[in-house]
Amino acid sequence: MCGLLGLVCPSEMDAAAARAAVGAAMRCQRHRGPDESGTWTGGEAVFGHNRLSLIDLESSHQPLVWGPPENPQRYSLLFNGEIYNYLELRAELAERHGARFFTDGDSETIVAAYHHLGEASVTRLRGMFAFLIWDSQRGTLFGARDQFGIKPLFYAAGPGGVAFSSEKKSILELAPVIGVRQELDRKSLQHYLTLQYVPEPATMHTQVHRVESGHAFTLVPGERPVFKRYWTPRFNPTPVHGPADAEALYGRIVDVMADSVAKHMRADVTVGSFLSGGIDSTAIAALARRHNPDLVTFTTGFERQGYSEVDVAAESAAAIGVKHVVKTVSPQEMMDALPLITWYLDDPVADPALVPLWFIAREARKHVKVVLSGEGADELFGGYTIYREPLSLAPFERVPGSLRKFMGKVSTRIPEGTRGKDLLRRGSLSLEERYYGNARIFRDDQLQQVLRTFDPSVSHRDVTAPAYRESVDLDPVTRMQHVDLFTWLRGDILVKADKVTMANSLELRVPFLDPEVFRVAATVPLEQKITKETTKYALRQALRRVVPAHVLNRRKLGFPVPIRLWLKDEMFDWARDIIVASQTDALIDKNAVLRLLEDHRAGALDHSRRIWALLVFMLWHGIFIERRISPRVPEPHYPVRL
């Protein structure tokens, strides 16, 4: 687990100056790898690396130089992540291809696989990764990002070269070197206020982009990178005929999850686990304890009834027999920490849950270097409550199209907050029109009230259309899952998971997001995912012998944050101060935002998520555009409690 930074320049570059620039740009991502850092220069490439050492602690330094006997210095590797099948892959490469290894780590496996298997090697990697390989013999760069987009990889291309990094901040530091502008992308802002995140491959800066999940690329110096999608998730629901078929499915789910957790436990340091109180994280912790009887679990909560799973998580920890650590977060702590967290995020993410996650990551880092977590279970096994919406809207599907349009017009005349208004509106829309992921912050009519320049040509369908085209032959629920894999999961869930844990130099591993787990989850039929009573039905049935009974059928809660209440009381003045001080007048009607805040306090409507999205953006703008806000970034120093 690390932070990487690669710069590929034309051949006439000043090597010393480029290396100095890379070294300076690495400083703003030192939290990703506080254990050691290093740089390397060769040909047209300059590499920099911040390492968090977890496997093969004494070796596997990066940048890692490797090659066959006839050219032992041929390749140089930068790698962020973990390859969980590296032992099996090393053995195969040695046996079939005579590959030689000089370390005990997983990094060497990547470059050896690339040498012997070529670009197809990336399909053999089971893990989370972003990497760059410079081939000095060919003078080319090859890189890739993992299948689900667990680990980040940003890039920017300009006349002075192409930069790749785990952190956008580092690329912004190199912007003058490569010749790219640091200007805000208004289209990304509009998407953000709709979705609560900036969708891939864009960022909030026009000339900085993300390498998309499941993509690899090649780069020749002086040219732009050429991308190729090497993996596409394919759901393939398979009918279950009778109890025997169902039990066989449940058995496959348990087996593949147990195998995934076992591989995710591979480390030369202590591994802990987040424990929210729900079935996903509890299952991960219970399976992890089989490999580490001294497992430590971590949870967070608030002193607000209905907004904490602390008691349930503690009960779960006791039932599976693990040590448990709790961090309670106050509204003042959230207000104090949000500017720093926003700096770590690189781009705004308006998910309030990332704040308590940041606090529990900070607490966990006092005990361990690695934690497991349950991200991905809902997308793979059908866990979100909204996945039941096609069942509730089924009667609307039988209504003629013209009448459905009329129903939609009627819904616009119903006052906001009236019961049934949104049901009528959503029932009048097709799946492609109404569903664009779990978060829906501002509707277009609401955006027009706060944005100075609303662009009607910018639509969520710009983001979701490819996923809908790929899933046209699937049932509505599975299509929603497919959309979420390319939107909500990689835009919100995995961004916050990576950013706030790495902000604390803590590696987070997600055993549900494993290609082998997906291979089984993809076969689960609709009736084994969603019922009238519950979600994730097959997963719950499969885990009934793994998790305590009290969490088996609990509704999803996660790390809920009481911002609806706090923005009326403890956070009201704080929020108002952020709005008034923000220099976003050219983008946002601040008077309209202040009215939202006042209306929210009056209690007529709940505007908390919209207000929060605007507050996070205003803080982000103050840090990265105005340069008015400068959070104090602590040095990454973590004395571990034994």
Tens of pLDDT, residue by residue over 461-491, are 999 999 999 999 999 999 999 999 999 999 9
How are the residues of the chain apportioned to helix, strand and coil, as percentages rounded to the nearest 5?
45, 15, 40
Residue 157 has pLDDT above 50, yes or no: yes
Stretch 147-163: mean pLDDT, rounded?
96
Provide CATH code, domain 2-229. 3.60.20.10
Return the pLDDT at 58. 53
Query: Which residues contribute to the annotated binding site for ATP?
Result: 373-374
Catalytic residues: 2
pLDDT band at 55 (very low <50, low <70, confident <90, very high): very low
Q: Which residues pair with 324 in a beta bridge?
A: 297
Stretch 193-211: mean pLDDT, rounded?
97
Domain boundaries, the chain: 2-229, 242-383+486-552, 389-475, 563-624
Instruction: Please give the share of the chain, as a percent, with pLDDT higher than 90.
Output: 74
Stretch 141-165: mean pLDDT, rounded?
97
Q: What is the DSSP string of 306-355?
A: TS--HHHHHHHHHHHT-EEEEEE--HHHHHHHHHHHHHHHSS----TTHH
Q: Which of 545, 602, 532 is nearest to 572 (CA)?
A: 602
Q: What is the pTM of this model?
A: 0.94
Residue 170 has pLDDT above 80, yes or no: yes
Say which residues have a Cβ less than 8 Å from residue 70's Cβ, sequence separation at least 6: none
Question: Among 5-14, 379-388, 594-603, where is mean pLDDT lowest?
Answer: 5-14
Query: Which residues contribute to the annotated binding site for L-glutamine?
Result: 106
Query: Which residues contribute to the annotated binding site?
Result: 106, 373-374
CATH class of domain segment(s) 242-383+486-552: alpha beta
pLDDT in tens, 385-420: 999 999 888 878 777 777 777 777 777 788 877 777
Q: Which of 126, 108, 105 is nearest to 52 (CA)?
A: 105
Residue 13 has pLDDT above 90, yes or no: no
pLDDT band at 305 (very low <50, low <70, confident <90, very high): low
Q: Which residues pair with 4 in a beta bridge?
A: 49
Residue 627 has pLDDT above 50, yes or no: yes
**CA 623, CA 642: separation in Å to the nearest integer?**
37
Return the pLDDT at 640. 41
**CA 30, CA 395: separation in Å to the nearest integer?**
55
Return the pLDDT at 334. 94
- In one letter, which amino acid is 574? W
Residue 458 region by backbone torsions, left for phi larger than 0, else alpha for psi between -120 and 50, else beta: beta
Distance of CA 471 to the CA centre of its chain: 22
Residue 638 has pLDDT above 60, yes or no: no
Return the pLDDT at 493. 96
Stretch 623-638: mean pLDDT, rounded?
88
Stretch 24-34: mean pLDDT, rounded?
87
pLDDT band at 277 (very low <50, low <70, confident <90, very high): confident
**CA 321, CA 223: separation in Å to the nearest integer?**
56
Stretch 638-642: mean pLDDT, rounded?
42
Cβ atoms of 73 and 49 within 8 Å: the answer is: no
